[in-house]
Chain A
């Protein structure tokens, strides 16, 4: 991990309010592991003051130039415009200078080869699952269950399909795929593949529902959590979540940026994990 000064290669709106940004990643793109993230410095003037964490969607190589230069690494992030920081990012142009810190955090454990893998993504939570799918499809059969409120929240599904991943889409309003919650699809898939391993990333209520299902059936689950972060490297201790065995009398916290953002479900204390306020919705900093 390092702080890289680099440039934007592309930055496009792919669905209403959702953007896909590709940045040049010389020396670090290919080091990224599924589930790791970047701290993105939105701009050098203020505000916003702090960097923003983004899961890495994919890494790849630009084709070699005709002048004989070697292929250049790039990484892509997908992000949703939720506040001032992401609003500013959405206006960055090709060639804009940016600073990213990374790759950071602990990623997914790829588990045993050959076993069935089920990925559950909700909205922008899909992001870390693509690199994971790319790794897992080498040795396992992979299914993606993708949920959103409307069809606008369903992202990049065809790219998973190109990897050979079976995909199932559900939306709350039925505007794309099946009408209803992604957890209904999960229940059906687990009926069919009771020995599967599950990987989930998405809104907290979805993650909690997935955890309940997996815990009831004894299915191994890894989750990637979103957290407010200041430093991304384990120094500020601002992004902690409650670990298993946590109590008020004996608090136990795990650092999302360093010990996560991917956790095995049994590492966490799930009581009220999702009931705490997260990003400020009203102030849009």
Chain B
């Protein structure tokens, strides 16, 4: 007897996703970069590169360094700015039948509010992801993300200016991520996304210089996955809003780990660089796993961790 296709559909803060897989911001450009390699409509959502009010040039080079099972980056949030995004990048995304989630950040509290306000007016933006967690620039929000009071303030302010679903992306560079997760939830976050990269450093032993011009960078890739799974597990326990899990997902089984600990959706980052169709493989793999396990709806899997 042929198994019925399982339902992979989930809903995050009112955004309906056909499956729980989406790119992590900053690893997928503005979507168009990966259009030659995959059918973008197969994705649960498209999450775009972090936007600021004004265009941002980013950090000096070298900006990336490979480490064991990971990658350090200090791109510095290079982006075209919110207005150029709306004018030049959004028309491409508008044609794709997949929800668009726009990641953004501000240099100041006021800028956070202003970018949120401008994105509020755009019907094609299904939701926004508030970045308070970039480790590579002070203004990338990490100053907000590491202090629960400041996190609460910026989430509250953005909430006031925004009439769309609000996902808050948290940094793992804190002692207890559940504290910032609760602060974000109480201030009005509709969903939590965790984790962003872990601050790291690599040194060229011959030149004895840091391998990144910025000295430190954000570590991503499979090296961080166990940390991310642990933190997602903690955050799921701490908040009532849906959690999106991210950190080192390369294969379907990696995504399943996050779903089982309670993430309602996952983001795939570094894997996109290694295999541009990684997310398609992951979606297919999740479906195949559900069929194999006799799971008809992905919600049977989400949060099914046995302790």
Residues on A close to B: CB < 8 A?
Answer: 1-3, 41, 46-51, 99, 101, 228-242, 250-253, 276-278, 280-283, 285
Counted as pairs of residues, one from A and one from B, with CB atoms less than 8 Å apart, the total is 123
Per-position 1/0 for B66-81, Cβ under 8 A of A: 1111110101001000
B residues apposed to A, CB below 8 Å: 26-29, 33-34, 36-37, 57-58, 60-71, 73, 75, 78, 202, 204-207, 209, 211, 213, 221-222, 270, 272-277
Chain A residue at minimal CB-CB distance from B70: A49
**A230 cross-chain contacts in B, Cβ below 8 A:** 64, 71, 73, 270, 273
**Does the CB pair A235–B27 fall under 8 Å?**
yes
- Do most interface residues of chain B lie in helix, strand or loop, or is the interface mixed? loop
B35 CB, min distance to chain A CBs, angstroms? 10
| Closest chain A CB from B9 CB (angstroms) | 27
Expressed in whole angstroms, the Cα–Cα distance for A70 and B126 within the complex equals: 49
A236 x B64 contact (CB < 8 A): yes
Q: Which of A234, A237, A250, A280 is close to B63, meaning CB atoms less than 8 Å apart?
A: A237
A sample of 19 more A-B contacts (CB under 8 A), given A253-B61, A282-B204, is: A46-B222, A49-B222, A49-B270, A49-B274, A230-B64, A231-B27, A231-B276, A233-B36, A234-B29, A234-B33, A235-B29, A235-B272, A235-B273, A236-B26, A236-B27, A236-B75, A238-B73, A253-B78, A285-B67
With contacts A235-B29, A237-B78 taken as known, whether A280 is within 8 angstroms of B68 at the C-beta atoms is no
Q: A3 touching B273 by the CB < 8 A rule?
A: no
Which of A3, A239, A253 interacts with B277 by CB under 8 Å? A3
Q: Is the CB of A51 within 8 A of B273?
A: yes
B276 cross-chain contacts in A, Cβ below 8 A: 3, 101, 231, 233
When the two chains form their complex, are residues A280 and B202 in contact, meaning their CB atoms are under 8 A apart? yes
Give the distance to chain A from B172, nearest Cβ to Cβ, in Å: 19
Q: Closest 3 CB pairs between A and B?
A: A282-B205, A238-B64, A251-B57
Q: B36's closest neighbor in chain A, by CB?
A: A1
Contacts of B61 in A (CB 8 A): 240-242, 253, 276
Q: Tell me whether B207 and A3 are in contact (CB under 8 A).
A: no
**Most chain A CB inside 10 Å of its own CB: which residue of B37, B61, B67:** B61
Chain B residues contacting A252 (CB-CB under 8 Å) are 57
Chain B residue nearest to A234 (CB atoms) is: B33
When the two chains form their complex, are residues A50 and B75 in contact, meaning their CB atoms are under 8 A apart?
Answer: no
Most buried by B among A250, A278, A280, A281: A280
Contacts of A240 in B (CB 8 A): 58, 61, 63, 78
Q: Is A50 touching B205 in the complex (CB atoms < 8 A)?
A: no
CB within 8 Å for A280 and B277 given contacts A237-B58, A238-B73, A252-B57: no
- Which of A48, A231, A232, A281 gathers most chain B CB within 10 Å? A231
Contact, CB under 8 Å: B28 / A3: no
Give A228 to B74 CA distance when docked, in angstroms.
13
Q: Which residues of A contact B272 (CB under 8 A)?
A: 231, 235
What residues on A are CB-neighbors of B222 within 8 Å?
46, 49
Chain A residues near B209 (CB-CB < 8 A) = 277
Pairs across A and B, CB under 8 Å, 25 listed = A3-B275, A46-B222, A48-B66, A49-B69, A49-B221, A50-B66, A228-B64, A230-B71, A230-B270, A230-B273, A231-B272, A235-B27, A235-B33, A236-B64, A240-B63, A251-B60, A253-B61, A276-B62, A277-B207, A277-B209, A281-B204, A281-B206, A282-B204, A283-B202, A283-B205
Q: How far is the CA of A277 from the CA of B214 in the complex (A)?
A: 12
Q: State in angstroms the CA–CA spacing of A249 and B231 once bound together.
A: 38
Q: Is the CB of A51 within 8 A of B28?
A: no
- Please give the distance in Å from B209's CB to the nearest CB on chain A: 6
Minimum C-beta distance from B80 to chain A (A)? 11
**Chain B residues with Cβ under 8 A from A51's Cβ?**
273-274
Contact B58 A47 (CB under 8 A): no
The answer for the CA separation of A41 and B273 in the assembled complex, in Å, is 10
Q: Roughly how many angstroms separate A283 CA and B203 CA in the complex, as a whole number?
A: 9
**B274 A236 Cβ-Cβ under 8 A:** no
Q: Which residues of A contact B270 (CB under 8 A)?
A: 49, 230
A46 to B276, CA, bound (A): 17
Whether A233 contacts B33 in the complex (CB less than 8 A), given A49-B70, A252-B57, A277-B204, comes out as yes
